[in-house]
Amino acid sequence: MDAHPETAPAARRPYLVSRGTASVRVRSYDVVVVGGGIAGLTAAVGAARKWNVALVTKSSLDDTTTFLAQGGIAAAMDPVDSPELHMRDTLAAGAGLCDEEAVRILVEEGPARVRELEHLGTKFDRQGGQLVLASEGAHSVPRVVRAGGDATGSVVASALVDAMILGSRVDLHEYEFVIDVLTEGKTCVGTLSLDTEGA
């Protein structure tokens, strides 16, 4: 698959798998998203607001790590909580192994991303209108939002899949294994994938 077939020949560098370019089926999109977990689905739904998008995944959309996640999503949603406190707890639990910049992005953007997931259709558990916040190890305050009890991952993934289908601007390619990224200089111009027939 190639995002820009007209520029594909310029992207000649050895493929990981030896094959003639004549047998490569070319499809053209503005954006190719690889992966159908929470990251890929969110990227596809967002990108599809502006561009035509392909989502490529090597398996089915319910065969992801995201689908298996149970415990919930930690984010400083409570007024008594804060990104600073979440950061402190995370760095303490990480015992020196954390990438601080990554943790900062996680704690600062987390609440907005949870609200975005809700906006896209995820029904997080609520009681009396308030989000139910669960306590988990290493968190000094209740901070974990859940959906469907311990079915958080599958509830989030299903809502994102529905949002993607509703938007209908994402072309879904399940069971396609991306084996190479085609580049021009430092720019990615496409991906190369194998389907179940090896085509």
Ligand X SMILES: Cc1cc2nc3c(=O)[nH]c(=O)nc-3n(C[C@H](O)[C@H](O)[C@H](O)COP(=O)(O)OP(=O)(O)OC[C@H]3O[C@@H](n4cnc5c(N)ncnc54)[C@H](O)[C@@H]3O)c2cc1C
Interacting residue ranges for ligand X, rule: CB under 6 A: 34-40, 56-59, 64-66, 68-73, 153, 177-178
Decide: 190 and 8 in contact? Cβ < 8 Å: yes
Decide: 31 and 3 in contact? Cβ < 8 Å: yes
C-beta of 10 vs 60, nearer to ligand X? 60
- Coil/strand/helix, residue 127: strand
Closest separation in Å from C-beta 194 to ligand X: 9
- How many other CB atoms are there within 10 angstroms of residue 167's CB atom? 15
Residue whose CB is nearest to ligand X in the complex, by number: 37
- Coil/strand/helix, residue 31: strand
C-beta of 11 vs 110, nearer to ligand X? 110
State both tokens at 116.
């975005």
Closest separation in Å from C-beta 51 to ligand X: 20
Closest separation in Å from C-beta 35 to ligand X: 3
C-beta of 52 vs 65, nearer to ligand X? 65
Closest separation in Å from C-beta 167 to ligand X: 18
The CA distance from 7 to 97, in Å, is 42
**Greatest C-alpha distance within the chain:** 61
C-beta of 59 vs 140, nearer to ligand X? 59
